[in-house]
Chains A and B, each alone.
Chain A
Amino acid sequence: MILEILKSNNAKILRHDEKVTVALVPNDKLRTTAELLFKAGCYYATGAGVDERLLGVGFSMYHIFNCEAEGRYIIIKAVASNLKIPSITPIISGANWAEREVMDMLGIFFDEHPEPVRLILPDDWPEGVYPLRKDFRYNERPPRVEFEQKREKKPGVIEVPVGPYHPALHEPEMFELYVKGEEIVGAVYRGFHIHRGMEKLAEGRMTINQIPFLAERICGICGYTHNCAYVQAIEDAAKIEVPERALYIRTILLELERIHSHMLWLGVAFHLLGFESGFMHTWRIRETFMDLAELLTGNRKTYGMNLIGGVRRNIDENKKKGLSEILDKTKKEIREIFDNATQMRELINRMEGIGVLSKKKGREIGVVGPTARGSDIDTDVRRDHPYAAYGDLEFKVPIYKDGDVLSRFLVRYEEVLESIWLIEQALDQLPPGDILNEEYELPEHTICVGATEAPRGEDVHFAIMGEGNKVYRWHPRAPTYNNLPAVPIMLKGEKLADAPIIIASIDPCFSCTDHIVIVDGEKVYRCSLDNYLGGL
């Protein structure tokens, strides 16, 4: 099916196995291919540009599609002919940010891109300096350039700035709400205030076994799934046999992380709805899971458990026992708290029918995770692309139809219970044996991709192996990157009082999104989402 599409567009298949398909598509066929794939039900996961001049190819763009039906990732490679590649944003609006990012970072230009303006680089970044090119050193700092601010006041409304420093968002991001009385008539998102240059760092300095610890620090809450995604990508490339037990331990930790992340979010949701006690209850329970993580990995949050080929610490018997006991206790408590909390009408009224995201829009933007499942999009990497031990564990994926804040809330609540159930299963079936396989050698220039289901949705890590124990290119994509464009749509026409809970309802994780490049200064050019809003 997929192969037919690719063949019909006379694409050159570079790699085809049970998980991944990589194909080189000629530029004139790129759009049609993308369109056909999108029609065939593959949504746009992410895109990455690579400076392949050292490999003698020049600049090339990789569009990564997620085909849930076949459980495979399709990577379409297009080589830039004198720095130009046809843009696919007109067909798939989800590709907007990815293409603009490549535009900023590598200086590849996309023909007929609807809004070819800077997305990531700030205004004071000099023109024509492209940080992700190989001739740009990872610790280089270009000089600032002066620029003038171009924006006009909007009459008839209050322009309410939400962020960069706003108590409702716990990270520096910028929403601009156009408010009339209490009603939000329009919203604009400006992002990418935090830049940590992780990709450059990884390519430039780190060895393949150091990068997992870097990847874990992409996110402050769900770092371990990034870690896993990266490790899986490399293992996929090098065809490494990971021991069973290691896979199970990874699963347990992943689910533990999902629980604490969701509990955190539920607590924050209560706090934003002004229900402080609910916040306290939720976090009190969350604390036990943090302690569990500490018990298993030696750290509350950054587990640091993965190496290529397995995990570093074992789960011995008494740890196992303690784990299952605590799980039994907390499961009851969680049920109790939330069944009671959901009886409080004023909370439900604040969430019901608020911040609705339709299924169609969601697909177009390519939202992932609970945000997607909340609006009736049945997607879950754990089920569609089984990794770790999810293949042989059974669990259900909660789906809600309404697409409002309440349904996202409930999705997360049910996922907490599911995760507990998953951990219990994994603990019983925990196979004996070795936990780390260190006999492997790394291939060169293999294109690989690894994906996990983070608490916020799908993590995709794209990588190209390099010489020795280095990677040539590593491009992680956090779920928030796909979910954020949906927020202004949800916000439009709602009351200002609901803005914080709506913004929070995608569980935004901004620094995961902004991992891209080393940049001085905070000022960031407005990335308008008018085309998503259908014009403010």
Chain B
Amino acid sequence: MNIIFIAINLAFALIIAPLIDGFERKIRARLQNRQGPSILQTWWDLIKLFKRPTIEPQDSVKPLYKLAPYITFTSVLAAYLIIPTLLPASTNFIGDLILVVYLLGLATLSFVIGAFSSGNAYAQIGSNRDVSLFMSEELLLAFIIGTIAVIGKSLSFGQLFPLPFRISSVLALLLLFLVIYVASTRLPFDIAEAEPEIIEGPLIEYSGKHLGLLKYFVFLKRLLLYSLILDFIIPIQNPIRLICYLIGIIILSIVYSTLEAYYGRFRIDQAIRILKRASIVALIVWMIAVVGW
């Protein structure tokens, strides 16, 4: 039963993730007085990329450079085994919150190692920024995990979903909202892939299929994080969970794309500073949770 559910969830994610991006592009176009591409456009882009051949730069370390996109892609897929997206699959035998976080860590790691292997200056600078951002966002995330663990007295999703309604849990979810925003590499936090100065940073040398995989990875990651925050809110045994979930996804993507359209890009140090301040807030939230509110 669970296996089927998980399979369905995976399929759902693989199909829907690019569509969500298309939807967000449409919304951003509306907010910028543009026609905007059709919602399917992201899918067409991906298909086109998957048709294209790939290239390998001379200075690159071939095996790492070629393998990295695949690992990145599959590691985020693995996270879908654990987080219930569409159907409430009970995953209490595969993994828990920690594992999800570390799988995303694996994704980031292989991503940057692939970029470093490409031997391009821009890629190195970009992935350097990526890791700096990852570390500082991990600090905030660690505090949130701690808070959630204190509130839910557990780390496995069976016990965590949904989070009991408390001041601390609300605050924790708000902070999680921020972390997810940062982690989903959008403006103003897409510093690693900043187009004007370092030309898509880590992605610079990737092309064709590799590029397609990495783009696909970003979309999947975003959907995963959406589902994570939604699972904390929607009760898992809720009969109308499915509807709530879909509506939640739409709302989240509207909010996020609006923010994305109307923020200027931060400099890396500004972004890290913001995350640091946020984690000080998170410390306070943790204290509140420990107090028991």
Contacts and interface: CB of A to CB of B under 8 A. Distances in A.
A contacts B: CB pair < 8 Å: yes
Interface in B147-201: 187-188, 190-191, 194-199
A266 to B, nearest CB: 13
A277 B31 contact: yes
Interface in A328-355: 344, 346-347, 349-350
B32 A497 contact: no
B263 interface: yes
B197 A497 contact: yes
Contacts of B33: 280-281, 284
A41 interface: no
A496 B121 contact: no
Interface stretch (B85-93, B266-274, B278-286): B266-274
A276 B197 contact: no
Interface in B54-79: none
Nearest to B258: A277
Nearest to A159: B121
Contacts of B261: 276-277
A167 B193 CA distance: 13
A179 interface: yes
B195 to A, nearest CB: 6
A184 to B, nearest CB: 11
Contacts of B265: 273-275, 346, 350
A97 to B, nearest CB: 27
A277 B32 contact: yes
Q: Which of A273, A498, A499 has the most CB of B within 10 A?
A: A273
A135 B248 CA distance: 76
Interface string A264-288: 0000001111111110110010000
A226 to B, nearest CB: 28
B203 to A, nearest CB: 13
B122 interface: yes
A274 B267 contact: no
Contacts of B262: 275, 277
Contacts of B124: 158
Nearest to B190: A274
B264 interface: yes
For this complex, into which size category does the number of interface residues on chain A fall? Answer: 20 to 34
Interface string B252-264: 0000000001111
Nearest to A271: B196
A161 B122 CA distance: 9
Given A158-B124, A274-B188, A496-B125, A350 B196 contact: no
A160 B268 CA distance: 18
Contact of A274 (B121, B129, B187, B269): B187
A166 interface: yes
A111 interface: no
What does DSSP make chain A's interface, helix, strand, loop or mixed?
helix
Nearest to B265: A274
B267 A498 contact: yes
Contacts of A275: 262-265
A165 to B, nearest CB: 10
Given A160-B122, A274-B188, A277-B32, A166 B267 contact: no
B125 A179 contact: yes
A346 B196 contact: no
A496 B32 contact: no
B187 A167 contact: no
B199 A166 contact: yes
A270 B269 CA distance: 20
B270 A274 contact: no
A346 B263 contact: yes
A47 to B, nearest CB: 35
B121 A276 contact: no
Nearest to A270: B264
Contacts of B199: 166-167
Contacts of B125: 158, 160, 179, 182, 496
A168 interface: yes
A500 interface: yes
A23 B238 CA distance: 92
Q: Which of B34, B196, B198 has the most CB of A within 10 A?
A: B196
A84 interface: no
Contact of A495 (B128, B188, B267): B267
Contact of A280 (B32, B187, B194, B195): B32
Interface string B202-215: 00000000000000
Contacts of A284: 33
A127 B128 CA distance: 46
Interface string B119-156: 00110110011000000000000000000000000000
B264 A346 contact: yes
B268 A346 contact: no
Pairs A-B, 5 closest by C-beta atoms: A274-B265, A280-B32, A275-B264, A500-B196, A273-B264
23 contacts: A158-B121, A166-B199, A167-B199, A179-B121, A182-B268, A274-B190, A274-B263, A275-B265, A277-B32, A277-B261, A280-B32, A281-B32, A344-B264, A346-B263, A347-B264, A349-B267, A350-B267, A495-B267, A495-B268, A496-B125, A497-B268, A498-B267, A500-B197
Given A160-B122, A499-B197, 4 more contacts: A275-B262, A346-B264, A495-B267, A497-B197
